Amino acid sequence: MVNGDDGVRIHVEGAVEALDSFVAELQRSPPPAARVMALDCAPVAVEGLREFAIRASEGAGRPTVRISPDLALCDACRRELFDSADRRCGYPYINCTDCGPRYSILEGLPYDRPLTTMREWPMCEACAREYRDPGDRRFHAQPVACPDCGPRFLLERDGRPAISGRAAIAEAARLLATGEILAAKGIGGFHLACDARDRGAVAALRTRKFRKEKPFAVMARDLAEARSLVELSAAAEAALTSPARPIVLAAARRELPEVAPGNPDLGIMLPYAPLHELLFADGAPPALVMTSANRSSEPIAYRDEEARERLRELADAFLIGERPIARRIDDSVVRVGRAGPVLLRRARGYAPSAAGRLPLDRPVLAVGADLKNTITLVVGGEAFVSQYLGDLEHFDAFEAFRSAARDLVAMYELEPDALTVMHDRHPEYASTRFALEAPGRAKHAVQHHRAHVASVLAEREAWDRRALGIAFDGTGYGDDGSIWGGELFAGSIRDGFERVGHLRPAPLPGGDAAARHPVQAAAGFLSELGSLPDLSAAPFGFPPRFAEARQLVEKGVRLFQTTSAGRLFDTVAAIAGFVRPMTFEGQAAIWLEHLARSYPVAEGYPVPFEAGELDYRPALRRALEARARGDDPGAIAAAFHRGLARGIRDAAAVLCETHALDTVALSGGVFQNRLLLESVTESLEALRLEVWINRSVPPNDGGISFGQAALALSYESRP
């Protein structure tokens, strides 16, 4: 119960539940004239009620309202945007209570205009009237504005006088149509945009951005254009058109070689900001490369002066909106397959909404891992997961990480000394050092792969459910100080997870460098086979780096033990023909999956499970033999995938029987591999095991912080 300003007592939780039920009933059987926005209306309406409850209870306790994510332009605002009779026609900052920026402009709670970056623009009389009218669609829409009172867009180019207003957008569209590269300020940061079908423009963008081969995302003008570019299932279309408007990965229909070189998939998204709609309406090409405005691996630029400085050699012109962005937020990424939708990057449209409930009485701050970092704050029993913050080896990403932690704690008016701080066990992680130096009532180290497994169970609020957890990824600091990455656990969130199996260990020469050079990883894994053919000769063609790495293995110099499934995939990729350095994370494994997806195979290479170990050696021997006799690399890739899936099935069958388990939780970056995920899921379900995967957070390290937060339960449960 909270006290309203007029003394009326409001039962917030009951009202929220009632509104949820009311909207659900309308969706099942909507009255003909009902003004209901289908399934996505509910979160917005409930969010509004929570915001009202907090507004009514200012000073009556700590804020517990959820912070709404940034939402795509709604249909009603889109109609007004192109209605010549509407006073907001052509206005790039049009929004209402059902759409528009939230988290990207928020600087504090409660969510009121003075605590947003819109505070510099007082509402005109017409906007203020709508804002105060409970019957208006813009009632208490904090970013509400119009051409008479709101911010504008400016086009800057070559030191010429800036063009403002709709003319700036029209000129930007013209530049895109003539092959120019545009830096455009969006909801959570700047994008670099160019014509996706102009090979010269895309090649120039790659050169300027130092992005050698990693695919670019494409924004399609509308759903029809998206369908012409990629194959969209009903589920993929639902994700693409949702208010979150993520990038959706799908099989390409049309070849765009400079956009996604050597990749049969394409990341596609639809316009989500009014600015995008206006650019297309003013003549921009129907398919635009729309990539984060940065040099390769740097965080996205989001401040105007920062963008002008960092992007001046990348962009031909700047389309800059006057409304400041409070924090950088990248585009979210989703893949949809037979196993359902999987979030690969949780950012705009999703963050910082709650990923689940955790029965924790005290606030918890979980700081995640160093790659694909997110943080999670648990307050009032709800776990709020931040946007994707990047790789903390970059200074700007680490600063964004520190700011995100500080902002969330401050917004919920928490005392830092009262926090339980959860962090990774890796002693050299920047996030670990931050956690150990930060204030807090208690601090706990969580093993990386246990956090992966916990994230799956926590999404389903299965805190006491015992399960077999399978966490496959590239790197994680193990209990024994070695590099883990192919792990099997039995247990629960509350009681903890016992390591009950793993991939057979292999030596890894050179440590982290092996993650960039598949032949270097291969030198370690293949050393487990004994004698080898001459891999420098055809058809293998391994470069000298392989022989150099083998010498490290033989001498025992700069050698690390690993159970990494990610490095095993790199090894098989090297055997199949990927012998050059990778230019982006996971490239060799992605290449191997694409080969396998295009090649049907009747038999898999054996990966037996014996004495608690998945033994990859028979599979590697078979792969070497197949390549030596000239088998198609696609057949090798497919046989490896199928064999590994069967090995995981056999391990699960043994371990689930031994530990009396009927549920398997799959997580870790390797399970971003759609082929492996679907194969493992199908084979486990055939054993009548229930298979759970990540839905609310990514299976990669973007979900680690949520799993860390969940495992705070295991510490609270101890006497």
pLDDT at position 63 over 70: no
Give bridge partners of residue 289 from the DSSP assignment. 194, 218
Across the chain, what does the average pLDDT equal? 91
Flag whether pLDDT at 622 surpasses 80: yes
Mean pLDDT of all residues in 442-462? 98
Whether the CA torsion 640, 644, 650, 651 is positive or negative: it is: positive
The average pLDDT across 140-151 equals 97
Question: In sequence order, what are the beta bridge partners of 499?
Answer: 489
Number of CB atoms found within 10 A of residue 542's CB: 22
Query: DSSP readout, 279-320?
Result: HHHTT--SEEEEEESSSTTSPPP-SHHHHHHHSTTT-SEEEE
Determine how β-strand 163-164 pairs with β-strand 153-156. antiparallel
Q: Say whether 676 sits in a helix, a strand or coil.
A: helix
Those residues with Cβ within 8 angstroms of residue 556's Cβ, 6 or more apart along the chain or in another chain: none
Above 80 in pLDDT, residue 16? no
Q: What are the helix (H) ranges across 556-703?
A: 565-576, 587-597, 617-628, 633-658, 674-686
Between CA 643 and CA 641 the distance in angstroms is 6
The SS3 of residue 76 is helix
Judge whether residue 525 has pLDDT over 80. Answer: yes
Helices and strands (DSSP H and E) totals, the chain: 22, 28
d(CA 692, CA 445): 25
Position 242 confidence tier, pLDDT thresholds 50, 70, 90:
very high
SS (HEC) of 140-158 = CCCCCCCCCCCCCEEEECC
pLDDT at 32: 37
329-347: average pLDDT? 94
> Which range among 19-28, 89-98, 489-498, 584-593 shows the weakest confidence by mean pLDDT?
19-28
Per-residue pLDDT reduced to its tens digit, 286-333: 999 999 998 766 789 999 999 999 999 999 999 999 999 999 999 999
709: its two tokens: 């937060």
Q: Which residue has the tokens 């400079």?
A: 258
Mean pLDDT of 655-678: 98
DSSP assignment, residue 160?
A: P
pLDDT tops 50 at residue 41: no
The contacts of residue 347 (CB under 8 Å, 6+ apart) are 188, 329, 330, 331, 332, 387, 388
Q: What is the pLDDT of residue 17?
A: 41
State pLDDT tens for residues 399-413.
999 999 999 999 999
Reply yes or no on whether the pLDDT at 112 is more than 90.
Answer: yes
423's enclosing H/E stretch is strand 420-424
Residue 13's pLDDT is 36
Give one word for 166, left, alpha or beta, with left for phi > 0 and alpha for psi -120 to 50. Answer: alpha
Of 275, 271, 285, 280, the closest CA to residue 199 belongs to 285
Digit-coded pLDDT (tens) for 566-592: 999 999 999 999 999 999 999 999 999
The model's pLDDT over 368-396, given as tens digits with 9 standing for 90+, comes to 999 999 999 999 999 999 999 999 998 88
- Predicted confidence at residue 717, as pLDDT, reads 67
β-sheet bridge partners, residue 326 = none
Residue 14 has pLDDT above 50, yes or no: no
Q: How much is the pLDDT for 7?
A: 30
- pLDDT (tens digit per residue) in 552-563: 999 999 899 999
Residue 440: the pLDDT is: 96
Band of pLDDT at residue 719, cut at 50, 70 and 90: low
Can you give the pLDDT at residue 299?
85
Going by C-alpha positions, the residue among 52, 45, 67 that lies closest to residue 5 is 52
pLDDT band (50, 70, 90) for residue 283: very high
Q: Which of 88, 58, 22, 64 minimizes the C-alpha distance to 274?
A: 88
Nearest to 451 by CA among 412, 484, 415: 484
Residue 15 clears pLDDT 90, i.e. is over it? no
Alpha helices by DSSP H, 598-673: 617-628, 633-658
Rounded distance between C-alpha atoms, residue 547 and residue 531, angstroms: 14
Report which of residues 33 and 116 the model is more confident about: 116
